[in-house]
Structure 1
Amino acid sequence: MLTLYGIPNCDTMKKARKWLDEQGLEYAFHNYRKDGLEKGWLTDRINELGWEQVVNRRGTTWRKLPEDVRNAMTAETAVNALLEQPGMIKRPLLDTGKNYLLGFSADKWAEALTQTKSDKPAVS
């Protein structure tokens, strides 16, 4: 099963959820703010995707950080910052069961989900 991570009121999240629904794909929704995040899980995502990709540096939360904090950001400090401010995580983040897709692109998601399905062994 797919898991979609984000916050419900984000416009991009709404587009992603609508697209998943239109494709008839079942998914669980994990609300960062309501359901929380585990440090180990977040550390793994940052190690896999890079903190520069995971942190939404276009958002107001990032821009409100002191300049010295932004300039000194590392993978380790990003984990702590995102645990404190989960709204600063770029969204959506889709767990396909095989990999993670960060940000919404209908074309990229369709391609990745088609590959995920074709990687499963055929049942005869």
Structure 2
Amino acid sequence: MLQIYGIKNCGSVKKALQFFDTHNIPYVFHDFKTAPVNEEKILSWLSKSNLSVLLNTKGTTYRTLNLKALALNDNEKIRWMGEHNLLIKRPVIEYGDQVIVGYEQSHYEGIFLS
């Protein structure tokens, strides 16, 4: 079963959940605000995705924490993501042996409706 990680009020997460609901694809939703993920989970995602994809450098949390000014190395970025899950681009979907980050309808159609 799909495991979807994000926050309920995120636009991309809402679109993803609507996609799965519309196509009757079952999933389990994990809300970062009520059930944060740790560095171990993030590292498991990074074994199947890239840090540049998973770290949301365009979000409010990244700007508020002023992380760009800190010139962090990859390990430090992962530590920050573990402490502040809202730095993770959303949604993160675990599907079989894949990790899919973000929402793009045509990409979802190719993966989940084929």
TM-score (norm 1): 0.82
Does residue 68 of structure 1 match 2:65? no
How much does 1:38 deviate?
2.7
Runs of 4+ in 1 over 3 A off after TM superposition: none
Superposed, which structure 2 residues align to 1:21-100 within 5 Å? Answer: 21-66=21-66, 67-69=68-70, 72-100=71-99
8 Å Cα contact 1:6-1:13 kept in structure 2: yes
How much does 1:114 deviate?
4.1
Aligned residues, how many?
Answer: 113
Counterpart of 2:75, as a letter, is E
Aligned-residue identity in percent: 25
Superposed, which structure 2 residues align to 1:97-112 within 5 Å? Answer: 97-112=96-111
Greater CA radius of gyration, 1 or 2? 1
How much does 1:45 deviate?
1.6
Residues 20, 26 of structure 1: CA spacing in aligned structure 2 closer, same or farther, 3 A cutoff? Answer: same
Measure the CA separation in 1 of the matches of 2:97 and 2:105: 18
Residues 5, 40 of structure 1: CA spacing in aligned structure 2 closer, same or farther, 3 A cutoff? Answer: same
Runs of at least 5 residues in structure 1 that lack an aligned partner in the other structure: 116-124
- 1:42-97 per-residue CA deviation (whole Å, 9 max, x = no partner) reads 1122343222111111111111233432xx22321111111111111100111112
By percentage of residues, which structure has more helix? Answer: 1
How much does 1:2 deviate?
0.5
Runs of at least 5 residues in structure 2 that lack an aligned partner in the other structure: none
Asked which structure has the greater RCO (Cα within 8 Å, sep 6+), the reply is 2
